[in-house]
């Protein structure tokens, strides 16, 4: 349980001024911050209002309803009509806002709850709907790496003007008792953050089994299993901070940007060699480069920053996969609208939804690249750019989702993944020619692909090298036996 929450004084005062001059009687939004289980504290970086929905309607509003009650007197009961104000919240829209904002946050930054701007009496009468909103936000933007089963609910009261913070338990049976008060204060938060950066390169080869044993047989479903499996492997890598081995149980003693490298154990994916052609019909090659940033409180140990970077790497992979899956779903809806939903040809099926067990050709899938936009202080948030998109798409996301000014100077936007043509590439490099013979036509067409040629040439080179090694070993053994026999004969 988080006992103390500290908010960035400059940002929260700015939020309070904005709300007090807005003329709004209520507003709901997201709390962006960091939860430190090591320090048992929470840190709030900013409050982001939930934008209006597609119909131009606010995410929260006040509804006045009549409350008819009987007033008892000496001459019997008398009906008295009174008006009761009720706070309504579009919980689904707030949760969708949280889902999209969580994609733009980097390591050490999370959607840690919601805030509400409303008067004191209305807040007391609306605790249940607010708890349900918090639960929806937690489901849409989960925090898996710290095992924290609570979220923050910050109340900014109109009159009297004051801030309060409560822990909201994410239990299945949510009631008003799910809220528990915690200490809230304002201070310096952003200026005390330690900054870490990591360029993570990976090359994962995952077998495509003849019989589907994953959660889904399509491209996206199998890749989710690959990412989840790699998340477990990433926990065992050895870190270097600024090129040195350090004590990860201690806080970082130096300011500035710290470069992090992960040393992956050699031959980490050797269990793949245990499969044979009767079990596997293809190989999924998952390779690329990821840039990750993480921000840690100066009192937190380095191990927490490393955990934030690892979590950011996996979250970034999931976010990119979600983006291309959302695009694929949109393509299917477009086909359905055109009356062509009954056609199941692979040419009309988006790549993320293809069934890999049924695929008989080499294919690749490029992931969106990650770019970084300056946010508060020296911190960055991120966004994802599709291969066909430009940096112009950042403006809409920054203004609508993060309630910030669009970046006007393109030189301030970091593009560390822009050097490669596609930051992440997925390609089932098939050996179906061996496992499941193809026609000469398909075989010749597959040879036209340079990647397949390189993979085939590399395989022949490895096989040739292996044969030479075996021959040399046999020659050495024979020579050793002959030398032993000669020495024995000469002594005799």
Least confident window among 112-116, 303-307, 432-436: 432-436
What's the pLDDT at 346? Answer: 45
Backbone angles phi, psi at 457, to 5 degrees: -65, -40
For the chain, give the percent of residues with pLDDT over 70. Answer: 74
Q: What is the C-alpha to C-alpha distance for residues 240 and 242, in angstroms, rounded to an integer?
A: 6
pLDDT for 205-228, tens place per residue?
A: 777 776 654 445 677 888 888 888
Check pLDDT > 50 for residue 453: no
Residue 275's pLDDT is 58
Residue predicted with more confidence, 474 or 402:
402
What is the pLDDT, as a whole number, of residue 423?
Answer: 42
Confidence of residue 446 (pLDDT cuts 50, 70, 90): very low
Band (pLDDT 50/70/90 cuts) for residue 449 is very low
Instruction: Yes or no: say if 205 and 212 are a contact pair by the CB < 8 Å rule.
Output: no
Which of 6-10, 33-37, 270-274 is modeled with the greatest confidence? 6-10
pLDDT at 153: 96
For residues 255-263, give the mean pLDDT.
92
pLDDT at 77 over 70: no
Q: How confident is the model at residue 432 (pLDDT cuts 50, 70, 90)?
A: very low
Q: What is the pLDDT of residue 438?
A: 40
Whether residue 488 is predicted with pLDDT greater than 50 in this model: the reply is yes
**pLDDT score recorded for residue 280:** 72
Instruction: For residue 428, name the pLDDT band (cuts at 50, 70, 90).
Output: low
Binned at pLDDT 50, 70 and 90, residue 325 comes out as confident
- Predicted confidence at residue 114, as pLDDT, reads 97
State the chain's mean pLDDT as an integer: 80
Q: How confident is the model at residue 358 (pLDDT cuts 50, 70, 90)?
A: low
Band of the pLDDT at 451, cuts 50, 70, 90? Answer: very low
Q: What is the pTM of this model?
A: 0.79
φ, ψ dihedrals at 315, nearest 5°: -60, -35
- Count Cβ atoms below 10 Å from residue 347 Cβ, excluding itself: 5
Tokens 């995952």 correspond to 206
Residue 30: strand pairing partners = 48, 114
For residue 444, is pLDDT > 60?
no
Q: Which of 113-127, 226-240, 444-458 has the highest mean pLDDT?
A: 113-127
φ, ψ (nearest 5 deg) of residue 129? -65, -30
Domains by residue range for the chain, with CATH: 4-64+78-188 (3.40.140.10), 193-367+422-452 (no CATH)
Q: Give the pLDDT confidence of 7-31 residue by residue, as tens digits.
A: 999 999 999 999 999 999 999 999 9
Q: With 50 as the cut, is the pLDDT of residue 461 above it?
A: no
**pLDDT tens per residue, range 286-323:** 888 899 999 999 999 999 999 999 999 999 999 998 98
For range 239-253, the mean pLDDT: 89
Q: What would the 3-class secondary structure string for the chain be? A: CCCEEEEEHHHHHHHHHHHHCCCCCCEEEEEEEEEECCCCEEEEEEEEECCCCCCCCCCEEEEEEEEEEEEEECCEEEEEEEEEEEEEECHHHHHHHHHHHHHCCCECCEEEEEEEEECHHHHHCCHHHHHHHHHHHHHHCCCCCCCCCEEEEEEEECCCCEEEEEEEECCCCCCHHHEEEEEEEEECCHHHEEEEEEEEEEEEEEEEECCCCCCCCEHHHHHHHHHHHHHHHHCCCEEEECCECCCCCCECCCCCEEEEEEECCCCCCHHHHHCCCCCEEEEEEEEEEEEEEEEEECCCEHHHHHHHHHHHHHHHHHHHHHHHHHHHHHHHHHHHHCCCCCCCCHHHCCHHHCEHHHCCCCCCEECCEEEEEECCCCCEEEEEECCCCCCCHHHHHHHHHHCCCCCCCHHHCECCCCCCCCCEEEEEECCHHHHCCCCHHHHHHHHCCHHHHHHHHHHHHHHHHHHHHHHHHHHHHHHHHHHHHHHHHHHC
Comparing 358 with 57, the larger pLDDT belongs to 57
* Selection from 291-300, 350-359, 413-422, 434-443 with the highest mean pLDDT: 291-300
């Amino acid at each position: 349980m988080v006992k103390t929450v500290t908010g960035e004084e400059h940002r929260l005062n700015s939020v309070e001024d904005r709300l007090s001059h807005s003329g709004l009687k209520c507003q709901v939004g997201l709390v962006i911050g960091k939860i430190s289980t090591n320090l048992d504290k929470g840190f709030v970086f900013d409050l982001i209002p939930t934008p209006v929905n597609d119909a131009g309607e606010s995410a929260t509003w006040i509804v006045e309803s009549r409350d008819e009650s009987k007033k008892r007197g000496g001459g019997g009961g008398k009906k008295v009509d009174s008006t009761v104000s009720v706070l309504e919240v579009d919980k689904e829209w707030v949760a969708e806002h949280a889902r999209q904002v969580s994609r733009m946050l980097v390591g050490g930054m999370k959607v840690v709850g919601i805030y509400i701007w409303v008067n004191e009496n209305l807040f007391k009468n609306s605790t249940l709907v607010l708890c349900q909103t918090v639960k929806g936000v937690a489901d849409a933007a989960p925090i898996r790496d710290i095992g924290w089963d609570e979220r923050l609910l910050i109340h900014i009261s109109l009159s009297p003007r004051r801030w309060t913070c409560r822990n909201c338990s994410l239990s299945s049976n949510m009631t008003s008792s799910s809220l528990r008060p915690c200490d809230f204060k304002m201070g310096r938060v952003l200026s005390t953050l330690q900054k870490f950066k990591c360029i993570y390169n990976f090359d994962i080869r995952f077998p495509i089994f003849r019989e589907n044993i994953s959660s889904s047989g399509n491209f996206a479903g199998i890749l989710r299993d690959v990412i989840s499996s790699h998340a477990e492997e990433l926990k065992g890598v050895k870190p270097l901070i600024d090129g040195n081995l350090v004590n990860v149980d201690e806080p970082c003693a130096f300011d500035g940007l710290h470069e992090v490298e992960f040393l992956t154990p050699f031959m980490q994916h050797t269990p793949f060699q245990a499969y044979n052609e009767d079990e596997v019909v293809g190989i999924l090659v998952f390779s690329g480069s990821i840039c990750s940033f993480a921000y840690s409180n100066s009192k937190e140990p380095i191990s927490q920053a490393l955990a934030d970077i690892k979590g950011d790497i996996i979250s970034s992979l999931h976010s990119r996969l979600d983006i291309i899956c959302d695009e694929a779903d949109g393509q299917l809806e477009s086909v359905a609208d055109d009356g062509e939903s009954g056609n199941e040809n692979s040419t009309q099926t988006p790549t993320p939804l293809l069934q890999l067990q049924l695929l008989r050709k080499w294919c690749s899938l490029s992931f969106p690249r990650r770019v970084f936009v300056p946010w508060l202080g020296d911190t960055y948030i991120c966004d994802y750019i599709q291969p066909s998109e430009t940096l112009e798409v950042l403006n809409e996301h920054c203004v609508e989702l993060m309630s910030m000014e669009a970046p006007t100077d393109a030189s301030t936007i970091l593009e560390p993944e822009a050097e490669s043509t596609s930051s992440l590439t997925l390609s089932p490099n098939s050996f179906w020619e061996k496992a499941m013979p193809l026609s000469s036509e398909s075989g010749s067409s597959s040879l036209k692909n340079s990647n397949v040629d390189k993979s085939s040439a590399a395989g022949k080179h490895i096989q040739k090298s292996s044969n030479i090694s075996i021959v040399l070993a046999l020659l050495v053994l024979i020579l050793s036996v002959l030398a032993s026999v000669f020495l024995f004969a000469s002594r005799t």
